[in-house]
């Protein structure tokens, strides 16, 4: 059973907070979750939604059909009609609207409660979450504990106020005639679960990798790495900076890395574009740096708060000139932890940039891995710094000494009697500038040699899910699409499928990849990507000569839903066409309605309510 | 005194270039203060000035044009026991890196920024620099530059720099003293050095500077911000004060970061991850 709960309302009124609270209530009751939030690039105005899929089974992707929709305004209902079935439960306020399609109606008088309790719109969330718990057979106590955790530091009054609202919501929903489900029924025994998204996993990975310097200029969807690490720094001693721009972010990180500490930067496409010159500098000066690139749909400012895998080739080709760089792409928060740990090792061992690629969908969607498993991963990680050393016997110091594996010793600056430079010009072994023909070739060859060393020791072939030999259909993909493909494999019970999931995207050795695809001859191979130009397909072809003809591509800013892949594989275009038609109809009919009903009216109401409270307070 | 010398390769600057005098100023100041190449960080910008990377030794980064200040900021954050110096030109520091300059002033990062200000781009063979006087004709502005010049001293003082000074490449003796004071100062220090480019700037010559510069009087009070700003404005009358215009004591950037009690690079690895994973339950 996979139960899909969704809440929607006007942006700026705490939808995100209540969604996350619901997710934690589910995991604290013993269930797995997968969540997905949508929001426009605005602080107020517009529409926010948050859906949480709940199940006893492991979850890797969202679900199309909505089982319970909590509508904090009419827009929520109108915008999600096309994902409702006649079995969907709709929580709504009869004073605002009533559903005009067959469904299970659960009226709750939010407006009335707001009036009697004299609360603002933000507080309605608490009532809605508590009502959901009641309908789904959950324990209110789990929510109450969460409220304590969240508000205890704000004092008794705030806690009791929230507890009272939760009770009201719970009691109101219990009045509903609809039989209560056992979706959230608290389990007796279960493993402790985390509720964690890609960005947070990057934070954990960076901390456990002993990253000591993180600099970042805010940019959706990478910003929460900055804000999370910024809060953590007082406890874990990392230095976290928000400098004047992305140029400063990465160049200061290179300064810190040169001085001997592990350093990282995080950004999205536009900021990454500003960083590329410095990535090139790191390449020639052989400075370790880990870049976290959380993609969003471009070009330019694009569609800032939505998702796309549109910057893969940009990441691969970032930086002018020729130098080695590694591009890793995790597919879920668990892989994010593992590959982040590895990225810091790779940057150090190969003394070159390593880019970890995410996207909004992976960066912000939570899953619920076992806490103990993550704890072990962090605790057991052994740091490899390669040839970065605190001391040396060499003098004069040859920072760029030629070596068969392409890697020279890098002394952490500070040792007396020694000096060297990290030179952005081509240089001789002792790091002084040169334009000499022979030395130029020698140093280029030396840097390029790192690629072969990497193939030998650290490259990992893609992971295979399913039985590749037996499969008739082989999916090929990377990054956040992973979860939806794993879900599709479960859906297509009658088909033999396998999934080739790439994580070490660049560079890639030709032979092993060709051998892998040789096993796929005669099978239906489908490349699935969340972009319009099949960028991984191009990259695969560039590196191995493998060309995948059949592609399923999506680039509307939304993630790929398992149902979409399923319908595509089964040839059910009709289903998706129906959806498209629905969306268009809704878009047309709702533009007018949204305007007339007025986002403003709710905002104004909220403001009036606050003003009233304020004026009373000043009496 | 260490037997490590600051002397790297023989300089490749044009004969008569102001960079020679600046190099003497930097090298002598550092030697007199007891530094050797393994005791300090230097961040070189790109240009004739930045080419000093091969002529002065140190634990150095010769990075990207305009970015020498951020690299220095990163070095300092990672190992604040190391003296950190930026060497660049008017193009890198005030043009391409102008944003970094003003924000480093705001942060009062404990770095010394030494700027070769010759009002022209030398290494790219004679285009205008952001400090050039309005109307200055160059290869890239044959009809004369339209913009008014950047005023580095006024900019630094108003943006929070705690040490602002100006020297002249033709007066190495005074320059040594200014650089010594700047390097010793805790916090952001600027040494703007007026310097003739004998090849591409035929206006701002040694003779020009000898005529238009003057030393700040002995009784000049460098702690008065308003007075310092007034002095920095004299550039518009083509009067260039030499010496320390402004100086104040205030905590440096790294001193405001509680976790930087000791150098970041030297602390033991943090391993208590569990409270962080717990926060996600």
User: What predicted TM-score, i.e. pTM, was given to this entire model?
Assistant: 0.95
Nearest chain B Cα to A253, which residue?
Answer: B74
Cβ–Cβ < 8 Å for B116, B22: yes
CA A318 from centre of chain: 21
Band (A604; pLDDT cuts 50, 70, 90): low
pLDDT at A592 over 50: no
Q: Is B103 on the interface with A (CB under 8 A)?
A: yes
pLDDT of residue A591: 45
Domains A3-174 and A198-379 share a fold: no
Give the residue-averaged pLDDT of A344-357: 98
**Contact flag A432-B54 (C-beta cutoff 8 Å):** yes
Residues 214-233 of A with CB under 8 A from B: 215, 232-233
Most B CBs within 10 Å, among A203, A252, A281, to test the B interface: A252
Tell me how close the Cα of A260 comes to any Cα of chain B, in angstroms: 6
Is the pLDDT assigned to residue A34 strictly greater than 50?
A: yes
| H or E element in which residue A537 lies | helix A535-544
Q: Minimal Cα–Cα distance from A288 to chain B, Å?
A: 14
Residue A606 confidence (pLDDT) above 80 = no
How many CA atoms, within 13 angstroms, populate the side-chain half-sphere of residue A617?
6
Number of A–B residue contacts, CB under 8 Å? 201
CA distance A437 to chain B (A): 19
Q: How confident is the model at residue A11 (pLDDT cuts 50, 70, 90)?
A: confident
Strands A463-466 and A497-502: antiparallel
Q: Is residue A578 predicted with pLDDT exceeding 60? A: no
For B141-153, the pLDDT digits (tens) are 999 999 999 999 9
Is residue B161 within 8 Å of B188, Cβ to Cβ? Answer: yes
Chain A contact present for B101, CB below 8 A: no
Cα of B104 to nearest chain A Cα, Å: 9
Calculate what percentage of chain A has a pLDDT beyond 90. Answer: 88
Spacing of C-alpha A10 from chain mean position: 23
Kindly list the domain boundaries of chain A, sorted by start residue: 3-174, 198-379, 388-457, 463-571
Q: Please report which confidence band the pLDDT of residue A380 belongs to, taking 50, 70 and 90 as the band edges.
A: very high
- Domain A198-379: CATH architecture, name and number where available: 3-Layer(aba) Sandwich (3.40)
Give me the DSSP letters along A327-367.
EE--SSHHHHHHHHHHHHHHHHHHTSEEEEEEEHHHHH--B
Can you tell me whether residue B99 is helix, strand or coil? helix
Rounded to the nearest integer, the mean pLDDT of chain A is 93
Q: Which two tokens stand for residue A121?
A: 């719109």
Cα–Cα distance between A309 and B131 in angstroms, integer? 44
Instruction: Give the per-residue pLDDT at A577.
Output: 59
Q: Does A279 touch chain B (CB under 8 A)?
A: no
Average pLDDT over residues A275-301: 98
User: Is the CB of A153 inside 8 Å of chain B's CB atoms?
Assistant: no
Cis omega (within 30 of 0) on the bond before A221? yes
What was the pLDDT predicted at A598? Answer: 43
Check whether B52 has a pLDDT greater than 90. yes
CA atoms within a 13 Å half-sphere pointing along the CA-CB vector of B271 = 9
Residue recorded with tokens 């600099």: A215
Taking an 8 Å cut-off on Cβ atoms, the answer to whether B77 and A213 are in contact is: yes
Q: How far is A201 from chain B (nearest CA, A)?
A: 10
For residue A178, what pLDDT is reported? Answer: 86
Asked if A46 reaches chain B (Cβ–Cβ under 8 Å), the answer is no
**Cβ under 8 Å to A: B residues 133-162:** none
Chain centroid to CA B134:
23
| pLDDT number for residue A584 | 62
CA pair distance B11, B21, nearest whole angstrom: 12
Average pLDDT over residues A482-507: 98
Q: Which residues pair with A53 in a beta bridge?
A: A4, A34
More confident residue, A575 or B218: B218
* pLDDT at residue number A180: 87
A500 pLDDT exceeds 80?
yes
Question: What one-character DSSP code corresponds to residue A370?
Answer: B
Q: Is A293 on the interface with B (CB under 8 A)?
A: no
Query: Lowest-confidence range among A45-54, A527-536, A575-584?
Result: A575-584
Q: What is the pLDDT of residues B158-204, one digit of tens each?
A: 999 999 999 999 999 999 999 999 999 999 999 999 999 999 999 99
pLDDT at A590: 44
- Mean pLDDT for A299-328 is 97
The answer, yes or no, to whether residue B238 has pLDDT greater than 60, is: yes
Kindly state whether B70 is in contact with chain A, defined as any CB-CB distance less than 8 angstroms: yes
A30 close to A93: Cβ distance less than 8 angstroms: no
pLDDT digit string, tens, across residues A471-486: 999 999 999 999 999 9
Q: CB-based contact (8 Å) between A255 and chain B? A: yes
Main-chain dihedrals φ then ψ at residue A510, nearest 5 degrees: -65, -50
Gap between the Cα atoms of B29 and B179, Å rounded: 6
What average pLDDT does range B49-69 have in this prediction? 97
> Pick from B8, B270, B281: which is nearest to A432 by CB?
B8
pLDDT at A374 over 90: yes
Q: Is the dihedral of CA B17, B19, B22, B26 positive or negative?
A: negative
- Mean pLDDT value of segment A390-397: 92
B34 touches chain A (CB under 8 A): no
Would the CB atoms of A278 and B67 count as touching at under 8 Å?
yes
Residue owning tokens 């020679």: B20
One-letter-per-residue 3-state SS of A398-420:
CCCCCCCCCCCCEECCCCCCCCC
Cα distances (Å, whole numbers) of residue B245 to A372, B88, B158: 60, 20, 12
Can you give the pLDDT at residue A299? 98
Angle of helix A121-135 relative to helix A156-174, nearest 10 degrees, comes to 50
Which CATH code is given to the segment(s) B18-278? 3.40.50.970
Domain ranges of chain B: 18-278
- Residue of B41, B46, B265 lying closest to A261 (CB–CB): B265
> What is the reported pLDDT for A573?
60
Per the structure block, which two tokens stand in for B240?
A: 């260039």
ipTM of the complex: 0.97
In this predicted structure, what is the pLDDT of residue A581?
Answer: 63
Report the distance separating Cα A153 and Cα A151, nearest Å: 5
Choose among B6, B5, B87, B97: nearest CA to B51.
Answer: B87
Structure tokens at A400: 């760029």
CATH code, A463-571 = 3.40.50.920
CATH code that applies to domain A3-174: 3.40.920.10
**Which pLDDT belongs to residue A280?**
98
Sheet holding A473-478, edge to edge: A463-466, A497-502, A473-478, A524-529, A550-553
Cα angle A215-A217-A219, degrees, rounded to a multiple of 5 = 130
3-class secondary structure per residue, B53-83: HHCECCEEEECCCCCHHHHHHHHHHHCCCCE
Tens of pLDDT, residue by residue over A210-243, are: 999 999 999 999 999 999 999 999 999 999 999 9
Query: Which band of pLDDT confidence, cut at 50, 70 and 90, is reported for residue A594?
Result: very low
């Amino acid at each position: 059973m996979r139960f899909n709960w969704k809440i929607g309302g006007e942006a700026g009124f705490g939808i995100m907070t209540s969604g996350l609270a619901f997710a934690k209530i589910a995991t604290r009751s013993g269930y797995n979750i997968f969540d997905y939030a949508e929001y426009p690039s605005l602080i107020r105005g517009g529409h926010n939604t948050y859906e949480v899929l709940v199940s006893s089974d492991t979850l890797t992707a969202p679900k199309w059909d909505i089982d319970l929709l909590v509508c904090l305004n009419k827009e929520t209902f109108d915008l999600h009609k096309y994902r409702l079935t006649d079995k969907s439960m709709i929580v709504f306020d009869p004073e605002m609207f009533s559903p005009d399609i067959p469904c299970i109606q659960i009226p709750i008088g939010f407006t009335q409660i707001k009036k009697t309790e004299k609360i603002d719109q933000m507080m309605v969330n608490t009532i809605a979450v508590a009502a959901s718990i009641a309908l789904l057979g959950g324990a209110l106590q789990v929510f109450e504990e969460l409220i304590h955790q969240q508000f205890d530091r704000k004092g008794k009054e705030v806690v009791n106020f929230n507890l009272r609202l939760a009770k009201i919501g719970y009691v109101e929903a219990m009045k509903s005639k609809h039989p209560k489900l056992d979706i959230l029924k608290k389990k007796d025994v279960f493993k402790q679960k985390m509720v964690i998204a890609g960005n947070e996993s990057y934070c954990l990975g960076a901390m456990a990798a002993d990253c000591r310097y993180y600099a970042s200029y805010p940019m959706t969807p990478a910003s929460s790495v900055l804000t999370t690490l910024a809060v953590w720094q007082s406890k874990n001693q990392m230095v976290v900076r928000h400098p004047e721009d992305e140029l400063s972010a990465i160049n200061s990180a290179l300064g810190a890395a040169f001085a001997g500490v592990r350093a990282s930067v995080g950004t999205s496409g536009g900021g990454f574009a500003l960083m590329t010159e410095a990535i090139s500098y790191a390449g020639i000066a052989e400075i370790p740096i880990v870049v976290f690139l959380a993609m969003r749909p471009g070009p330019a400012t694009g569609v800032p708060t939505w998702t796309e895998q549109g910057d893969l080739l940009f990441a691969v080709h970032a930086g002018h000139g020729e130098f080695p760089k590694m591009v890793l792409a995790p597919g879920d928060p668990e892989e994010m932890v593992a590959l982040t740990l590895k990225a810091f090792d790779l940057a150090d061992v190969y003394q070159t940039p390593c880019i970890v690629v995410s996207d909004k969908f992976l960066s912000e969607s939570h899953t619920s891995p076992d806490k103990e498993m993550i704890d072990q991963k962090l605790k057991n990680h052994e740091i490899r710094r390669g040839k970065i050393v605190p001391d040396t016997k060499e003098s004069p110091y040859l920072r760029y000494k030629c070596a068969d594996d392409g890697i020279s010793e890098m002394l952490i600056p500070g040792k007396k009697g020694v000096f060297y430079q990290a030179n952005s010009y081509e240089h001789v072994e002792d790091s002084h500038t040169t334009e000499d023909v022979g030395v130029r070739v020698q140093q280029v060859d030396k840097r390029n040699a790192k690629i072969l060393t990497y193939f030998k020791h650290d490259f990992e072939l893609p992971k295979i899910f399913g039985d590749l030999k037996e499969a008739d259909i082989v999916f090929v993909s990377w990054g956040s699409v992973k979860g939806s493909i794993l879900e599709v494999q479960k859906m297509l019970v009658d088909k033999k499928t396998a999934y080739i999931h790439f994580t070490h995207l660049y560079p890639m050795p030709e032979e092993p990849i060709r051998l892998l695809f040789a096993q796929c001859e005669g099978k239906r191979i489908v490349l699935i990507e969340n972009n319009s130009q099949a960028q991984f397909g191009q990259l695969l072809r560039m590196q191995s000569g493998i060309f995948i003809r059949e592609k399923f591509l999506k680039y509307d800013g939304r993630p790929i839903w398992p149902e979409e892949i399923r319908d595509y594989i089964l040839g059910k275009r009709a289903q998706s066409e129906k959806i498209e038609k629905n969306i268009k109809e809704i878009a047309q009919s709702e533009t007018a309605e949204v305007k007339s009903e007025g986002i403003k009216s709710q905002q104004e109401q909220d403001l009036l309510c606050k003003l009233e409270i304020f004026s009373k307070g000043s009496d | 005194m260490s037997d490590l010398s600051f002397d790297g390769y023989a300089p490749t600057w044009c004969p008569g270039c102001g960079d020679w005098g600046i190099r003497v100023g930097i090298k002598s100041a550092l030697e007199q203060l007891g530094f050797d190449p393994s005791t300090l960080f230097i961040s070189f910008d790109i240009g004739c000035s930045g080419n000093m990377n091969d002529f002065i030794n140190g634990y150095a980064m010769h990075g990207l044009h305009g970015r020498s200040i951020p690299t220095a900021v990163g070095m300092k954050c990672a190992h604040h026991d190391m003296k950190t110096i930026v060497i660049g030109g008017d193009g890198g520091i005030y043009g391409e890196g102008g944003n970094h300059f003003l924000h480093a002033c705001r942060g009062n990062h404990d770095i010394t920024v030494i700027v070769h200000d010759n009002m022209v781009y030398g290494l790219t063979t004679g285009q205008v620099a952001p400090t050039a006087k309005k109307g200055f004709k160059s290869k890239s502005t044959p009809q004369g530059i339209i913009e008014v010049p950047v005023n580095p001293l006024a900019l630094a003082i108003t943006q929070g720099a705690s040490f602002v000074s100006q020297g002249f490449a033709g007066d190495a003796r005074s320059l040594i003293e200014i650089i010594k004071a700047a390097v010793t100062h805790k916090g952001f220090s600027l040494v703007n050095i007026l310097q003739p480019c004998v090849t591409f700037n035929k206006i701002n010559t040694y003779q020009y500077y000898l005529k238009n510069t003057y030393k700040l009087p002995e009784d000049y009070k460098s702690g008065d911000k308003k007075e310092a700003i007034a002095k920095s404005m004299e550039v518009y009358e083509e009067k260039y004060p030499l010496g320390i215009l402004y100086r104040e004591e205030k905590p440096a950037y790294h001193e405001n970061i509680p976790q930087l009690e000791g150098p970041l690079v030297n602390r033991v690895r943090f391993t208590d991850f569990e409270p962080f994973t717990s926060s996600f339950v």
